[in-house]
Amino acid sequence: MDVVLNTGDTAWILASSALVLLMTPGLAFFYGGMVRTKSVLNMMMMSFVTIGIVSTLWVIFGYNWAFGSSADSPWIGGWGLSGLGSAVESLANNGGVYPIPTLVFSSFQLMFAIITPALISGAIADRTKFSAWAIFVSAWVTIVYFPVAHWVFDFGDKVGEKLIGVGYLAGKGVLDFAGGTAVHINAGAAGLALALVLGKRHGWRRDPMRPHSLPLVLLGSGLLWFGWFGFNAGSALGANGIAGLALINTQVATGAALIGWLLVEKIRNGHATSLGAASGAVAGLVAITPACAFVAPWAAVIIGLLAGIICSLAVGLKYKFGFDDSLDVVGVHLVPVLGLLEQRLGLAGAERGLAADRHVPAHCRARVADTRQEPRIDAPRHDRLCATALHAQHVGLEVGVCGIDVAGIDDVGAHRLKHRQIGIDRRRAVAGRVADQGDLLLFQYLHDVAVGALADLRRGWREAERHRVFLHVDQFIDPAGVQHRHLVAGDQRRRGERLA
Give the angle subtended at the CA of 391 by the CAs of 388 and 396, to the nearest 5°.
125
Rounded to the nearest 10°, the torsion over CA 9, 10, 14, 17 is: 60
Enumerate long-range contacts of 336-339, CB under 8 Å, 24 or more apart. Answer: 336/180, 336/181, 336/184, 336/185, 336/286, 336/287, 336/289, 336/290, 337/185, 338/287, 338/303, 338/306, 338/307, 338/310, 339/180, 339/287, 339/288, 339/289, 339/290, 339/291, 339/292, 339/303
pLDDT tops 90 at residue 254: yes
The mean pLDDT value of the chain amounts to: 75
pLDDT tops 70 at residue 108: yes
Identify the DSSP state of 406. Answer: P
pLDDT tops 70 at residue 109: yes
Q: Which residues pair with 158 in a beta bridge?
A: 163
| Cα(292)–Cα(384) distance, integer angstroms | 22
Q: Which helix (H) or strand (E) holds 99?
A: strand 97-101
Band (pLDDT 50/70/90 cuts) for residue 96 is confident
Q: Are 265 and 312 in contact (CB under 8 A)?
A: yes
Closest CA to 117 of 204, 179, 51, 19: 51
Other CB atoms within 10 Å distance of the CB of residue 70: 15
| Cα(377)–Cα(373) distance, integer angstroms | 13
Interval 482-497: pLDDT, tens: 666 655 555 444 444 4
- Residue with more model confidence, 203 or 284: 284
pLDDT score for 458: 67
Band (pLDDT 50/70/90 cuts) for residue 142 is very high
Q: Are 178 and 250 in contact (CB under 8 A)?
A: no
pLDDT tops 80 at residue 402: no
| Cα(265)–Cα(282) distance, integer angstroms | 16
Q: Are 43 and 125 in contact (CB under 8 A)?
A: yes
Where helices occur in 97-140 by DSSP H, the ranges are 102-120, 130-140
- Give strand ranges (E) for 320-444: none
Q: Which helix (H) or strand (E) holds 464?
A: helix 427-466
Rounded to two decimals, the pTM is: 0.69
How many angstroms separate the first and last alpha carbons of the chain? 90
- Residue with more model confidence, 458 or 28: 28
Closest CA to 353 of 469, 245, 207, 191: 245
| Cα(222)–Cα(165) distance, integer angstroms | 38
Residues 80-108 have a mean pLDDT of 87
Window from 78-87, 306-315, 465-474 with minimum mean pLDDT: 465-474
pLDDT tops 80 at residue 82: no
Cα torsion angle, 279, 282, 287, 293, sign = positive
| Cα(350)–Cα(416) distance, integer angstroms | 17
Q: Which residues pair with 483 in a beta bridge?
A: 477
pLDDT tops 70 at residue 150: yes
Helix H, strand E, coil C: the string for 70-92 is: CCCCCCCCCCCCCCHHHCCCCEE
Interval 271-322: pLDDT, tens: 999 999 999 999 999 999 988 998 999 999 999 999 999 988 888 888 888 8
Rounded to the nearest 10 degrees, what angle do helices 241-269 and 274-288 cross at? 140
Q: How far is CA 450 from CA 38, 132, 377, 387, 394, in A?
A: 40, 43, 41, 36, 35
Q: Which residues pair with 487 in a beta bridge?
A: 473
Q: Which amino acid is at 273?
A: T
